[in-house]
Amino acid sequence: MVSEPGERLAILVWAAEPEAPQRCATPFYFAAAAAAMDCEVEMYFTAASVRLLEAGVAEALHADPRAGKSVARFLQEAHALGVRMYACPTAMAACELSAARVRPECAGQAGAASYLGRVLDAAWHTIEF
């Protein structure tokens, strides 16, 4: 995807953790919406939010218990639209999450320096959840 300045969005996900499932779908929903608007989107998962990228975790979560759509479905929809997701290696270590247990939708590991590079780049907009 080729983007013009201002058509790039980096999302920091740090407060959407499995213990608060009502906050877990929103970052993926925003990412998917931006990607559907032809934005280049990257998501950076840190702190306990990195566990959303652990295989099997998002499948068990529902932002709205009355709805049938799991957080995993929101994640998969964002990925299908081209959203790239990165796991913070420091958060992975803190959560004892090995690379072997990370979902296939995860594009790899990237931490604070990668996200801050986007924050400091005028071509990128940022948002945090």
Which CATH number do you get for residue 117?
A: 3.40.1260.10
Q: What is the mean pLDDT of residues 54-71?
A: 94
pLDDT reading at 2 higher than 70: no
Question: 1 in a domain, yes or no?
Answer: no
Supply 48's token pair: 């306990």
Q: What is the mean pLDDT of residues 48-72?
A: 95
pLDDT at 5: 47
Give pTM, 2 decimals: 0.93
| % of residues, the chain, pLDDT over 70 | 95
Supply 96's token pair: 């004892």
- Domain limits for position 69: 8-128
Q: What is the mean pLDDT of residues 50-61?
A: 98
Domain tally, the chain: 1
Q: What is the mean pLDDT of residues 83-87?
A: 98
pLDDT reading at 40 higher than 50: yes
